[in-house]
Amino acid sequence: MPIESARVEYSAGSTVMKSFISKPQKAEFAFPGVLVFPEWWGLTEYLELRTKQLAELGYVAMAVDMYGEGKIASDPAEAGSLMNGVLSKMEDGEARVLAAMDFLKSQTEVDANRLGAIGYCFGGAIVLHAARKGWPLRAVASFHGALGANHQAESGDVHTKILVCHGEADAMVTAENVQEFSGEMDRLGADYVIKTYPDALHGFTNPATTALGQKYGIPVGYNESADRQSWEELKDFLSEHL
């Protein structure tokens, strides 16, 4: 499906957010909208690629700037600082997510009643936070994302369908973390599914991850099989729920 892409700006409070949107060309009807939340590096070319891939599937997709002014980290120390700056002030982080949702809903090609979100690593934590908050997203998917809760939801709060794609060899998000998340979702009565991939490390969907792991000595790496399988599962998941 032919697509068009553009960089877009909007505000969250006093901060200018510089995001990236892709949509099918010459839309004759409204498409579902999908927010794409980044790894801790920020809105990189990888996020733009995923956004374009979603547009080719018939979604209006927006890669979300979570740091403001389109900041991209140059090394893990800066990435950690930027990410923790958001997580430590979740009111500001929530405002940025909601501003992105509002901007996406405002697009004439978007069916505002059919919104979803996907996230990678840090972005995975963000989409799960949105689900715990009960925000109007029909479906969210986390890829090698942090699973711990920054918001303690109550039973019945989570109405969003949830897909978690997790690498079994992930040293940053452990099997214990997965068990704890599963127990939390069961307690909340959430509709969720967890897909796991043998030998897949943290960051398994991003081809650039292996080189970054080697450069900085962090336990991350690309896994082509897990990447391909999880993307196919995402396509089925979004098709069913959006």
Collapsing DSSP to helix, strand or coil, 68 comes out as coil
Query: What pLDDT sits at residue 27?
Result: 66
Residue 88's H or E segment, with its range, is none
> Quick one: CATH architecture of 3-241?
3-Layer(aba) Sandwich (3.40)
What is the C-alpha to C-alpha distance for residues 186 and 23, in angstroms, rounded to an integer?
36
Alpha helices, H only, 72-192: 76-87, 90-105, 122-133, 175-188
Taking alpha carbons only, the member of 69, 67, 71 closest to residue 93 is 67
Q: Which two tokens stand for residue 222?
A: 């690309």
Residues 6+ away with beta carbon under 8 Å from 224: none
Query: What pLDDT sits at residue 218?
Result: 96
Going across the sheet that includes 110-120, the strands are 3-12, 15-24, 60-63, 31-37, 110-120, 139-143, 161-167, 192-197
CA angle 12, 130, 228 (to 5 degrees): 110
Instruction: Domain ranges for the chain, please list them.
Output: 3-241
What is the C-alpha to C-alpha distance for residues 139 and 186, in angstroms, rounded to an integer?
17
Kindly give the parts of the chain with pLDDT less than 70.
27
What is the C-alpha to C-alpha distance for residues 43 and 36, in angstroms, rounded to an integer?
9
Query: What pLDDT sits at residue 57?
Result: 96
Distances, alpha carbon 10 to alpha carbons 45, 96, 104, in Å: 20, 10, 10
In 134-162, which positions are buried (b, 16+ CB within 10 angstroms) versus exposed (e)? ebebbbbbbbbbbbeebeebeeebbebbb
Q: What's the burial of 71, exposed, middle or buried (CB within 10 Å: 0-12/13-18/19+)?
A: middle
Q: Which two tokens stand for residue 4?
A: 């068009």
